[in-house]
Amino acid sequence: MEASALIDHILKLQQYVLGLKSTTPSGMTKEKVDEKRRQVRNLMNKGIRAQFKWKPKVKNGTARWSYLAVIPDEAVFLTLLNLPSDWKKKTLKLEVEKFEDTVARDEISVDSRYVAMQITGKDVKVMWNPEDLTFKVNGTYGRR
């Protein structure tokens, strides 16, 4: 084998290896992961806001909300919450401010006829199920 042919073969192998690194274990590219992350984030924001309804517990800030989502790949979940790729825990508590910064990109709040409501409490709990590729997020909401 000539030197130039060998160099061409090595360069092709490098390109192949670099291409493998840009995909997740399930074969999703990083661009596809980012697209899915944006979709999940938008659906989550809408789903959480839809649960903000007036009830007496809103006065005290103890009304509960919960959101369950199914995602196509673990990488989408990890990028959604800015977690490292080696994160293996099943539960996570995020401060409300960090949750709103990473997931919502702004404050999650709803103005109703009688009161303005937002996420209250100190933490938002995230539960991850890697077998089913589902996660559940819950917390409390109340008066602003």
Whether the Cβ atoms of residue 5 and residue 12 lie closer than 8 Å to each other: no
3-state secondary structure of 108: coil
Residue 139: the pLDDT is 95
Residue with tokens 């979709």: 39
Helix (H) / strand (E) element for 61: namely none
Residue 60 is encoded by which pair of tokens?
């005290």
Q: pLDDT at position 76, please?
A: 92
- Neighbouring C-beta atoms of residue 135, cutoff 10 Å: 24
Give Cα separations from 130 to 24, 51, 89, 135 (angstroms).
Answer: 15, 26, 10, 8
What does each of the 144 residues of the chain score in pLDDT, given as a tens digit? 677 777 777 777 776 665 555 556 667 888 899 999 999 999 999 999 999 998 999 999 999 999 999 998 899 999 999 888 888 899 999 999 999 888 876 778 888 877 899 999 899 999 999 999 999 999 999 987
User: Residues near 59 by Cβ (< 8 Å), separated by ≥ 6?
Assistant: 142, 143
- Both tokens of residue 58? 């809103």
